[in-house]
Structure 1
Amino acid sequence: MRAPLSWLREYVDLPAGETGRDVQAELIAAGLEVERVEQLGTGLTGPLVVGQVLTIEELEGFRKPIRFCTVDVGQANGTGEPQEIVCGARNFSVGDKVVVVLPGAVLPGDFAIAARKTYGKTSHGMICSGEELGMGDDGTHGIIVLPQEYEPGTDAIELLELVDEVLDIAVTPDRGYCLSMRGIARELATAYGLPLRDPALLDVPAPNSYGYPVQVADPAACDRFTARTVTGLDAEARSPIWLQRRLQKAGMRPVSLTVDITNYVMLELGQPLHAYDRTRIQGAIGVRRAEPGEKLTTLDGTKRVLDAEDLVITDDRGPIGLAGVMGGAETEIADHGAATSSTEVVIEAAHFDPIVVARAARRHKLSSEAAKRFERGVDPQAASAAAQRTVDLLVLLAGGTAEAGVTEVVTPSGPHTIAMRADHPDRVAGVRYGRESVVRRLQQVGCDVYGQDELIVTVPSWRPDLTDPNDLAEEVIRLEGYENLPSTLPQPPAGRGLTERQRLHRRVGRALAGAGYVEALNYPFVGDEALNHLGLEADDPRRTAVRLVNPLSDTEPALRTTLLPGLFAALRRNDGRGEHDLALFETGLVFRPTGDEATPVRLPVDRRPTDEEIAALDAALPRQPRRAAVVLAGAREQTGWWGQGRPATWADAVEAGRTVAREAGVELIVRQDQHAPYHPGRCAALLAVVDGQETLVGNAGELHPRVTKAFGLPERTCAMEIELDLLERARTGALQAPHVSAFPVATQDVALVVDASVAAADVEAALKAGAGELLESLRLFDVFTGEQLGEGKKSLAYALRFRADDRTLTAEEASAAREAAVRSAVERTGAVLRGA
């Protein structure tokens, strides 16, 4: 909303020295978003005057038409002699009144005017267009031709109101009343503590039975419809300069007198209006819902097929307007240049349901100034005043006659009242305002307030956004000043903080980031195509997904059952942009419905739900386990002066799983597995002991080649996914801080030959069981196969570290522990000590 400061001063007596910047600061403090203050006429200096064209001589021999004119500028040039001016424009004639800038003046843009010789003549000034004066779009794109009543020599800077300041305000959806000069002036009067001259306070005649007939078939969608008729309009009457300039400053283009007046009143009072050519209306005006398939050609010339939910204005022929959005071409005011050829008009000032208008505007992709106001909420009580204001201006400016008939169809409704404790704003803001301040601020908003401790507040008709006590508290806080609210830190009660679940989530993220992974946050949506690319079987539980009623994308209509597709998309996107060495991770929820969920319940909004209602809602939700996942591609270690690098392999994905498990205080059991989307020979099952049983908590490995091709991933891409909730359950006690012994470590190596089918994890478990309490750590550092071992055999070499907390181990103690570990491995796995 663009609000000229000169216009606002008509309603509020601002101090003479207040600038647009000062007003901007006050309105911002009151909660309005004033984006900028536009300075009109900056750098403009005269003489800039009205001139009358006396003669026009057409100059020949040039590439474009050139005219040599003499113009009467009165005494503005100091001599009273006609001013000689060269001009290329052709939209004026001898006798026309034009705007002339004389030598010595400076136009906007630091354009200095001086006498100069051009086209063989000396031009002493310039005949101006609106664009050259910074007046905006007036629809003519040529020389300004003024009405004849202005005398030559009249100061055109004052006449055209060229110097002004315009506030550009971004009106939020809850402040629809500020899409009018009346609403902004009200905020300005409150901010300065000055009285408001409300332009809607007009004497309006009572409704009678002589007005234009109106029939409202849907009173819920149109609760007020006022119709007034004006006849005998002067077909040659044009909008006066002051009216045109106000419209231009507000960002609207002058069209014709009748249309300009309806736009002016809309800007002034916030009430959209529509003017019908009475001679083009057939029968009574009606308001109803459209019938499916009905058509309407709107004022923009587009033929629209109407929806059954559309609210339309009709006559005996059918729809003649889309209510609250745009009128129809059948009954539009006919204009002739800047004048109007319609001499009888019917003025409509109605109040339509905001939701009906908003949906119609979006349905037809038709944004209009009227719809913008109706969908934010228009003052229904202002309709009669707006119609009267329009009639008064038509009578004044177009010489019309207002008919005595006044039509007003109203659906009775009482004022909206809200009960609120007087100290409610205090409790919301954490500041003591006191009852007197609360009442005073609400009265400034326009509310009627009664009561002492319990206030009964009647909301003004122009504030439909005020619906509950918190809205009223916001108004009090806003007017008292957001800057006066103290900054206080919340004080949580002792003993509260992050839950163990939250701590694990954070530890896992930090551990993976420390291991070189970069977090990638993805949308939790998935489509059938991605599940197909994963190579899932038809009965795979991951194909059973929760479908969204209103998905953001038709290609991803379900909630994810695995984190991998989102990470694959992030990897593909980064690889396509030149980042080929990648290690990404994500932690988050997946959604795994079981089919046993209860029917969803709708929780109440007027109170806190009961525990039973919350439990019923939880029972309707799918299982939502937390997971962590990684994906790797390219080099895991870079090649450099320090040596040869290496690519990421399935072992790195398995180690990522171990990293996550260590943060949960759980030791993983790793076994070979076959699980989509992994390569059948390079897939590991990650298991942990949960509630006394070995439980699959995740998988890791290299992706199947078909999967990498389907997702467009680099070859040999690896991934891991693990469930954090199961890891949390697998932990048997509280996490222990690492113990650092002051005594030295004793390292013993052992190489065992086993069958190729024996898992390294089983050998490792046997070694740990036999080594006893002295074993600090165990690490597999070599796997060897060869002819000397025999077919179907492999050698596993382990480094065993022994340490005691209270003494230095002897060589005999370390060797005994090593031998016990080997015996356990021999007994459990059939291993043979290599070299024995």
Structure 2
Amino acid sequence: MRLPLSWLKEYVDIPAGADVEQALIGLGIEVDDVVDQGATVTGDLVVGRVLTIEELTGFKKPIRFCTVDVGNPEPQEIVCGARNFAEGDLVVVILPGGVLPGGFAIGARKTYGRNSHGMICSARELGLGDDHDGIIVLRSGTPGEDARPVVGLDDVLFELEITPDRGYALSVRGIARELSHAFGTPFRDPALGAATAATPEPAYDVRIEDTVGCDRFAARAVRGVDPSAATPAFIAQRLTTAGIRTINLPVDITNYLMLELGQPMHAFDLGLLTGPLVVRRARAGEKLTTLDGVARVLDAEDMVICDDSGPISLAAVMGGETSEVQPTTVDVLFEAAHWDPVMVGRTARRHRLFSEAAKRWERGVDPQLPLVALERAVALLVEHGGGTPDGRVLDVDNVRPLPPVSLDSALPARRIGVPYTRERVVQLLGTIGCAVTGGDVLTVQPPSWRPDLTDPADLVEEVARIDGYDNIPSELPPALAGRGLTAGQRRRRSVGRALAEQGYVEITSYPFVPADADDAFGLPADDPRRSAVRLTNPLSEEEPRLRTSLLPPMLATLRRNLGRGHRDLALYELGLVFEPRLVAAAAPAMGVAHRPSDADWAAADATVPRQPWHAAVVLTGDVAPAGWWGAGRPASWSDAVEAARTVVAAAGVADDRVRVRAAERAPWHPGRCAEILVGDVVVGHAGELHPSVLATLELPRRTCAAELDLDAIGPADLPTGPAVSGFPPALIDVALVLDATVPAAEVQEVLAAGAGPLLESVRLFDVYASDALGAGKRSLAYKLTFRAPDRTLAGEEAVAARDAAVAAAAARFGAVLRGA
């Protein structure tokens, strides 16, 4: 929202030299920008008087050659294409060397066969409006004087970001009141003017069928308006400053009062209304073409204003085409109502129609404003557009006062840490318009414009805000004795550190995924990962579900980085996944007055999705870069498996409890996928992603990934110190020929089991395949280390243990010693 300082000064006295920006920030109002309009035009911008006009002919459009008195001894020669001025008129002239908004520099040049020294300016060229058909003609001024104050370019604009709970601040009235709190100066409330009360005979027949959706509806009429009456300059300029397009006088008045008071209004053409008005909920399937030209299908929750022809306005959001003010309108009906904020918010989102009115209604509007706004609208229209006000006034008022709030007068001091006395609390709450009664326990009646004040915490916040956030001491609270990080937190940090040390880069993804993510990953129809939580109100309709795997958003990040020129990527993420519990029962209702019972807690928890922590990695490109030292090494499924082993090891699991075996699981390649087991529990999968998945996601071939469930790994093993023997090892290598389909990890497990207690370690160090070995055969070479804890092993003992290991592999897999 953009507001000029001059408008604010009409309702609040601002001390000379006061820092308005810091005052607003101190009140909790975010200031996005401060624009000094005078600085938007540099150089000489002066008032000029047109002395002579010569019409130039022979060109495609009318051109005038003018001499203009700009306060210099000699008149200024200027070529201009506008025709809405005459000799003797006062105009705005920018002289050579000046720069208009947008960086448009002005110089002296020859054009249309004449020399032109400067420019006669229109409102759009000065950034004051949309009018570019004619130049600005001034009513008063002296040639040569600075034109900035004359045209309103001496103002300062504040661009503010208003939080959703403070709708009253979306108006000059609201911001001026806030500044009066900051500076301690009087506030002149524009809503305190006299307003004509409802008359026995209404201005127009109206029936309200739903007093929840609309608890107040007021209307007044003005007849005989001059349809050609122009919007006065001060209204047009302030609307343009706020980013609102000027349309016609009646509509501009409603928008002007919305900015000034915070009360959205609507102007109907009385001649286009047929029969009485009815305010009701829409009937599902009804249609309405709104002022933006879009035909909308209405929902049963929408509120509409109807006449005998059907819906003519989408209430509180946007009017309809059939009843809008026309260029020929002479009789105008102004409507000012009060609508349910929840209804308006849902309607605006449903129709994707976030009008200025809807933004205010969903944040809350003062229900006491309708008659005041109507009074001001009628007066402005009669003053600037003629016409006669209809003496009849409609006001259907079903507004209920805001409920009072009980507040312990000592609560602000306890919560904020500032010693507010009871008297100070009462004073501060009274400053914002609350009526406060009572002793130690105060009864606080919020003002009509503050529907956000609903509980003691809101009042505590207001006490701190109005007293000044700067008065709150910056002291850290004392740290309570505790045990530090939880076991889960330590595990996640250890895993993250271990992956980062291996060269992986951490990312944090949004937990939202598209509805078709399961199809893109090729998940079977019965895969439990297809059962996902769907959000009722997602941030994006394209991603309405919560992830059941970390991989979909991670691969989207991978693709985005590839598109930006990165080729070698290794990413990791630690995050929650969401596994729905398919239960029929709803969560029990639980208040905040006391702790829920164990039964209620268990029943509520049963309806919440399981949220285990997962760790995942994705990698593509080279893991070892190429250079003068030789070729690089591309990432492969084995790197993903090694990353999975790193995760398990960092989680505190002993290596002898970890097993890796071949598996099939989407979205991995069936022949290059491994499952990771801790004991007998499968905790994750790793390997190369399926080619069809990579093609669908537009990712490079051989892209690999791993994902593990950290919560399924179980508690960390108790670390024990390694047994160190002072006796020498016996090192024996064995090369086994066996079927290429036999996993190397399973062979290693069998060798370890067969070798007996003398085996200290076994490690695969070579894989060899050749036609000489036989079709479908390969050689796996292992390095076996034997050592006894209490003696030096005899060669025969080591060979016997080696033979036992080979025999176990031969019995299990049909392995044969290579060269035997």
CA pair 91-350 structure 1, distance change in 2 beyond 3 A: farther
Q: Is residue 711 of structure 2 the alignment partner of residue 725 of structure 1?
A: yes
Equivalent residue number for residue 452 of structure 2: 465
Equivalent residue number for residue 735 of structure 1: 719
Equivalent residue number for residue 157 of structure 2: 166
Equivalent residue number for residue 316 of structure 2: 324
Q: Percent identity?
A: 49
CA pair 142-587 structure 1, distance change in 2 beyond 3 A: same
Q: What is the CA deviation profile of residues 552-604 of structure 1, one whole-angstrom value per residue up to 9, with x for unaligned ones? A: 77887665555555555555665666655554444444555686x56341553
CA pair 513-47 structure 1, distance change in 2 beyond 3 A: closer
- d(CA) in 2 for partners of 1:294, 1:687: 59
- d(CA) in 2 for partners of 1:649, 1:434: 69
Matching residue within 783, 796, 812 for 1:798? 783
CA pair 97-308 structure 1, distance change in 2 beyond 3 A: farther
Q: Is residue 31 of structure 2 the alignment partner of residue 34 of structure 1?
A: yes
SS at 1:185 equivalent: helix
CA pair 576-668 structure 1, distance change in 2 beyond 3 A: farther
Equivalent residue number for residue 201 of structure 1: 192
Equivalent residue number for residue 481 of structure 2: 494
How far did residue 307 of structure 1 move? Answer: 3.9
How far did residue 202 of structure 1 move? Answer: 1.1
Kept in 1, the 8 Å contact 2:513–2:545? The answer is: yes
Kept in 2, the 8 Å contact 1:296–1:305? The answer is: yes
How far did residue 515 of structure 1 move? Answer: 2.9
Q: Is residue 437 of structure 2 the alignment partner of residue 450 of structure 1?
A: yes
How far did residue 488 of structure 1 move? Answer: 3.8
Instruction: Output the amino acid matched with 1:417.
Output: P
Instruction: Output the amino acid matched with 2:35.
Output: E
Equivalent residue number for residue 13 of structure 1: 13
CA pair 65-545 structure 1, distance change in 2 beyond 3 A: closer
Equivalent residue number for residue 219 of structure 1: 211
Equivalent residue number for residue 338 of structure 1: none
SS at 1:99 equivalent: strand
SS at 1:404 equivalent: coil
How far did residue 258 of structure 1 move? Answer: 3.4
SS at 2:678 equivalent: strand
How far did residue 195 of structure 1 move? Answer: 0.9
Instruction: Output the amino acid matched with 1:800.
Output: T
Instruction: Output the amino acid matched with 1:24.
Output: E
SS at 1:380 equivalent: coil
- d(CA) in 1 for partners of 2:366, 2:94: 48
Q: Is residue 739 of structure 2 the alignment partner of residue 751 of structure 1?
A: no
Kept in 2, the 8 Å contact 1:77–1:102? The answer is: no
Kept in 1, the 8 Å contact 2:48–2:71? The answer is: no
Kept in 1, the 8 Å contact 2:730–2:793? The answer is: no
Q: Is residue 587 of structure 2 the alignment partner of residue 601 of structure 1?
A: yes
How far did residue 635 of structure 1 move? Answer: 4.3
Equivalent residue number for residue 184 of structure 1: 175
CA pair 420-818 structure 1, distance change in 2 beyond 3 A: farther
Q: Which segment is superposed worse, 817-826 or 358-367?
A: 817-826
Alignment of 1:290-301 (within 5 A): 290-301=282-293
CA pair 145-257 structure 1, distance change in 2 beyond 3 A: farther
How far did residue 169 of structure 1 move? Answer: 1.8
Kept in 2, the 8 Å contact 1:48–1:105? The answer is: no
SS at 2:392 equivalent: strand
Equivalent residue number for residue 266 of structure 1: 258
Q: Which segment is superposed worse, 165-174 or 642-651?
A: 642-651
Q: Is residue 752 of structure 2 the alignment partner of residue 765 of structure 1?
A: yes
- d(CA) in 2 for partners of 1:545, 1:411: 44
Kept in 1, the 8 Å contact 2:82–2:133? The answer is: no
Kept in 1, the 8 Å contact 2:758–2:788? The answer is: no
SS at 2:494 equivalent: helix
Kept in 1, the 8 Å contact 2:281–2:302? The answer is: yes
TM superposition score normalised by structure 2: 0.83
Kept in 1, the 8 Å contact 2:664–2:671? The answer is: no
CA pair 722-434 structure 1, distance change in 2 beyond 3 A: same
SS at 2:496 equivalent: helix
Alignment of 1:103-182 (within 5 A): 127-132=120-125, 134=126, 136-146=128-138, 158-182=149-173
How far did residue 718 of structure 1 move? Answer: 4.9
Q: Is residue 257 of structure 2 the alignment partner of residue 284 of structure 1?
A: no
CA pair 124-294 structure 1, distance change in 2 beyond 3 A: same
- d(CA) in 2 for partners of 1:138, 1:647: 60
Q: What is the CA deviation profile of residues 319-372 of structure 1, one whole-angstrom value per residue up to 9, with x for unaligned ones? A: 33332233344444344xxxxx64443322221222333333344444433233
Alignment of 1:560-639 (within 5 A): 560-563=547-550, 579=566, 581-591=568-578, 597=583, 599-604=585-590, 606-607=592-593, 608-621=595-608, 623-638=610-625
Query: How many residues in Structure 1 have an aligned counterpart in Structure 2?
Result: 803
Kept in 2, the 8 Å contact 1:310–1:322? The answer is: yes
Q: Is residue 781 of structure 2 the alignment partner of residue 781 of structure 1?
A: no
Kept in 1, the 8 Å contact 2:124–2:131? The answer is: no
Q: Is residue 176 of structure 2 the alignment partner of residue 210 of structure 1?
A: no
CA pair 672-117 structure 1, distance change in 2 beyond 3 A: closer
SS at 1:381 equivalent: coil
Instruction: Output the amino acid matched with 2:38.
Output: G
Kept in 2, the 8 Å contact 1:783–1:797? The answer is: no
SS at 1:770 equivalent: coil
- d(CA) in 1 for partners of 2:53, 2:216: 56
How far did residue 212 of structure 1 move? Answer: 1.0
- d(CA) in 2 for partners of 1:579, 1:104: 50
- d(CA) in 1 for partners of 2:557, 2:120: 62
How far did residue 305 of structure 1 move? Answer: 4.5
Instruction: Output the amino acid matched with 2:253.
Output: I
SS at 1:200 equivalent: helix
Q: Is residue 392 of structure 2 the alignment partner of residue 405 of structure 1?
A: yes
Alignment of 1:414-493 (within 5 A): 414-489=401-476, 491-493=478-480
Instruction: Output the amino acid matched with 2:416.
Output: A
SS at 2:390 equivalent: strand
- d(CA) in 1 for partners of 2:237, 2:780: 94
Kept in 1, the 8 Å contact 2:402–2:451? The answer is: no
- d(CA) in 2 for partners of 1:425, 1:308: 44
- d(CA) in 1 for partners of 2:662, 2:105: 85
Instruction: Output the amino acid matched with 1:258.
Output: P
CA pair 821-603 structure 1, distance change in 2 beyond 3 A: farther
Instruction: Output the amino acid matched with 1:825.
Output: A
Equivalent residue number for residue 825 of structure 1: 805
- d(CA) in 2 for partners of 1:547, 1:246: 45
Equivalent residue number for residue 99 of structure 1: 91
TM superposition score normalised by structure 1: 0.82
How far did residue 527 of structure 1 move? Answer: 7.2
Instruction: Output the amino acid matched with 1:40.
Output: Q
SS at 1:275 equivalent: strand
How far did residue 431 of structure 1 move? Answer: 3.0
CA pair 815-180 structure 1, distance change in 2 beyond 3 A: same
- d(CA) in 2 for partners of 1:705, 1:829: 34
- d(CA) in 2 for partners of 1:687, 1:575: 32
Unaligned runs of 5+ in 2: none
Matching residue within 640, 662, 665 for 2:653? 665
Equivalent residue number for residue 344 of structure 2: 357
- d(CA) in 2 for partners of 1:641, 1:463: 71
Instruction: Output the amino acid matched with 1:604.
Output: M
Q: Which segment is superposed worse, 559-568 or 320-329?
A: 559-568
Kept in 1, the 8 Å contact 2:72–2:144? The answer is: no
Kept in 2, the 8 Å contact 1:781–1:799? The answer is: no
Kept in 1, the 8 Å contact 2:779–2:818? The answer is: no
- d(CA) in 2 for partners of 1:826, 1:393: 102
